[in-house]
Amino acid sequence: MNPEPLAAARQHVASKAAPDVGDTLALYLAFRLADDVYAIDILRIREIIEYSVPTGVPMMPRTVRGVINLRGSVVPVIDLAVRFGRTATGVGKRTCIVIVETEHAGSLYTLGLIVDGVNAVMEISAESIEPSPAFGTRVNADFIAGMARVNGRFVIILDIARVLSIDEMVSITPPTMIANL
């Protein structure tokens, strides 16, 4: 997959003036996990790559599927379905790895997320995002930044910083791997 569309989307976000002070638009990358559609703020996305089997690392929690080499950097790969308490993501034609960046204690960390497929880049207004429900979702409510209705269907907007909390990952990760997180 090609990082250029993401660069164009970022440029679009930077150049777009909101039509009204009360109507702020943001871009989100929408993707599938099983039958659910999730979205992440496009500014957190570094790139999307074709799925390749991660190299397993002994004694890693089930959430960490392994590591990949991304242009010379070791990148831990998280199975988002397992992180959400589901069964491991099966590999299909559209399975890919979304490379995201998250910040912790002033440092930037790069992680890969295995997803069933990327849908589109969506433009969502802040006013159309509703608070996350306290119950009734298949995901920990703390991981949800909000819910948006797009084309008659709910899209779960993830708080990627909470989903990929480095503190939590470190607490479940053997010390030998902490340097890579």
Fold (topology level) of 4-15+23-178: OB fold (Dihydrolipoamide Acetyltransferase, E2P) (2.40.50)
The reply to whether the predicted model has a pTM over 0.75 is yes
In angstroms, the Cα distances linking 32 to 39, 64, 81 are 9, 19, 10
Where are the domains positioned within the chain?
Answer: 4-15+23-178
Quote the tokens at residue 16.
């777009």
Digit-coded pLDDT (tens) for 81-107: 999 889 999 999 999 999 999 887 888
C-alpha distances in Å from residue 149, one per residue of 43, 133, 139, 142? 21, 14, 17, 19
Whole-number pLDDT of residue 76: 95
Residues 79 and 72: their CA atoms lie apart, in Å, by 21
